[in-house]
Amino acid sequence: MASVCFYFQVHQPARLRHYTVFDNKADYFDDYKNAEICRKVANKCYLPANRLILDIIRRCDGRFKVAYSLTGILLEQLFSFSPEVMSTFDALAQTGCVEFLAETYYHSLSFLYSHDEFVEQINKHAETIEKLFGQKPRIFRNTELIYNNDLAALIESTGAFDAIITEGADHILGYRSPNFIYRPKGSEKLKLLLKNYSLSDDIAFRFSNRHWTQWPLTAEKFARWVNDVNGNGFVVNLFMDYETFGEHQWADTGIFEFMRHLPEEVLKYPDNGFKTPSEVIKAYEAVDTVDVPHLISWADTERDLSAWLGNAMQSNAIHELYRMEKNIKSSGDQDLIADWRRLQSSDHFYYMCTKYFADGDVHKYFNPYDSPYDSYINFMNVLGNLQSRCAKKTSGPNLREITRNEIPPDLRTQAVH
């Protein structure tokens, strides 16, 4: 009995416009570029993929299930730039075969810096999802699948969730398989769903790679791999970016055809089927606890936070941002608060990543800036303006300029990749 559990991450950042130290308007976001990208991705991915999923659900008579996590930042953009995508998500919600997950509304790293802000963003997201799709999310996924024991404890304390989704990283599982349900260490009720990164990445990253020994990947072959799990697990957690369909893997790679045929191939094995995350945790008990004292994520081979917080610029930018929290909130100015929150998206810090930069790879592909340095300069200029707006309202301090000696030694002489 092997259940395939699909969860798709759907997110687009609110990209900043070019903002120099000479700018002084409180107008930070590049609406033109954001609209252009949103419409492009809608046409290449969201619309065709949603129609395909809808079609499969109808064809399979409810035996095909998926889950989505839609960030608040994305939903805002869809409403403004591609409202037709919203109606297809609405149609998906009405099939009863689609589950919506909870996350931070702003796709933020707030868990690491402010638990108050973190919980506020989760609540805002959950309210939005309930209002739009009539479901109260019961499963939580943190930005970039960032996770540790403390996160589990915090999520459990809210009482709002049944399970957390995170990465099935080798170093937390050891010899154990991600194809079982686990319990976070120190947790009473929460369960853990762990990503099967090997099978997920076969679709998300390797699908079109002609140097891969398994290329071409057919639905029939993949269904066989899923079936091989029987005897060593209950569930195959396939977690990936939704943009895999049509954007990361272009339509001409055959990714949509693969997806179209996958359900029937999986269902050819009478024991196998599809479940949403909530159905999975209802169906199976936790087999063991997983202890994650250190933070993990789903990024790169390191599965750590170095893509967002690996250099002195990233660390400086995010610390400055969260240092403003009290003043921003006490201003009571809703525009100010909304701008501050949009700056929290992990993407802004990802763009500042110098890891692998010289080699040019996946990091570069998603980066609207020419270099991580440009992205830091732009972000700090925006932050400087936000700070002065805030100072006008609250007479708080201005952006502090940190000196070289204040930077922790490990960041001063960080390893260069």
Partner 1 sequence: MRVFMLGWEFPPFISGGLGTACYGLTKALDQLGTEVIFVLPTMVQSRYTTHVKLLTPDLAMSEAPFKVHQLKNVLFRTITSPLQPYLTSSDYQQHIEQSLAHIQRQRGQTYDLCGGLDYSGDMFTEVARYAQIAVKLAENEHFDVIHAHDWMTYPAAVAVAAGLHKPLVVHIHSTEFDRSGEHVNQPIYDIEREGMHAADKVITVSHYTRSILISRYGIPGEKVEVVHNGVERNGNQNWSLADGEISKDEKIVLFLGRITMQKGPEYFLRAAKKVLEKMDNVKFVMVGSGDLMHRAVEIAAELGIGSKVLFTGFLRGDDVHKIYKMADLYVMPSVSEPFGITPLEALENDVPVIISKQSGVSEVLQHALKVDFWDVDEMANKIIAVLKYAPLEITLRNHGNFEVRRLRWIDSAEKCLRIYDDALAAVAYA
Site for partner 1 in 344-363 (CB under 8 A): 354, 357-358
Question: Do 141 and 164 contact (CB within 8 A), yes or no?
Answer: yes
If DSSP states are collapsed to H, E and C, what string results for the chain?
Answer: CCEEEEEEEECCCCCECCCCCCCCCCCCECHHHHHHHHHHHHHHHHHHHHHHHHHHHHHCCCCCCEEEEECHHHHHHHHHHCHHHHHHHHHHHHCCCEEECECCCCCECHHHCCHHHHHHHHHHHHHHHHHHHCCCCCEEECHHHCECHHHHHHHHHHCCCCEEEEECCHHHHCCCCCCCEEEECCCCCCEEEEECHHHHHHHHCCCCCCCCCCCCCCHHHHHHHHHCCCCCCCEEEEEEEHHHECCCECHHHCHHHHHHHHHHHHHCCCCCEECCHHHHHHHCCEEEEECCCCCECCCCCCCCCHHHHCCHHHHHHHHHHHHCHHHHHHHCCHHHHHHHHHCCEHHHHHCCCCCCHHHCCHHHHCCCCCCHHHHHHHHHHHHHHHHHHHHHHHCCCCCCCCCHHHCCHHHHCCCCC
For partner 1, the closer of residues 213 and 405 by Cβ is: 405
Spell out, one character per residue from 11 to 50, where the chain touches partner 1: x when CB under 8 A holds, - when not: ---------xxx----------------------------
Among 71, 142, 200, 381, binds partner 1 (CB under 8 A): 381
Q: Judged by CB under 8 A, does residue 401 bind partner 1?
A: yes
Q: How far is the CB of 358 from partner 1 (least distance, A)?
A: 5
For partner 1, the closer of residues 155 and 399 by Cβ is: 399
Spell out, one character per residue from 302 to 331, where the chain touches partner 1: x when CB under 8 A holds, - when not: ---------xxx-xxx--------------
Question: Applying CB under 8 A, what is the total number of residues that bind partner 1?
Answer: 32
In angstroms, the CA 313 to CA 295 distance is 20
Among 380, 382, 386, 390, binds partner 1 (CB under 8 A): 380
Q: How far is the CB of 314 from partner 1 (least distance, A)?
A: 8
Task: Tell me which stretch binds partner 1 (CB under 8 A): 83-91, 191-199, 324-332, 402-410.
Answer: 402-410
Q: How far is the CB of 125 from partner 1 (least distance, A)?
A: 31
For partner 1, the closer of residues 22 and 365 by Cβ is: 22
Q: Judged by CB under 8 A, does residue 212 bind partner 1?
A: no
**Residues marked as catalytic:** 144
Task: List beta partners, residue 106.
Answer: none
Residues 6+ apart with CB under 8 A from 326: none
Q: Judged by CB under 8 A, does residue 374 bind partner 1?
A: yes
Q: How far is the CB of 395 from partner 1 (least distance, A)?
A: 22
Among 376, 385, 387, 390, binds partner 1 (CB under 8 A): 376
Q: How far is the CB of 31 from partner 1 (least distance, A)?
A: 21
Q: Judged by CB under 8 A, does residue 338 bind partner 1?
A: no
Closest CA to 142 of 282, 295, 322: 295
For partner 1, the closer of residues 196 and 378 by Cβ is: 378
For partner 1, the closer of residues 61 and 401 by Cβ is: 401
Site for partner 1 in 155-174 (CB under 8 A): none
For partner 1, the closer of residues 70 and 399 by Cβ is: 399
Q: How far is the CB of 340 from partner 1 (least distance, A)?
A: 19
Task: Tell me which stretch binds partner 1 (CB under 8 A): 198-206, 237-245, 299-307, 407-415.
Answer: 407-415
Q: Footprint of partner 1 on this chain (CB under 8 A)?
A: 20-22, 311-313, 315-317, 354, 357-358, 370-374, 376-377, 380-381, 401-404, 406-407, 411-414, 416
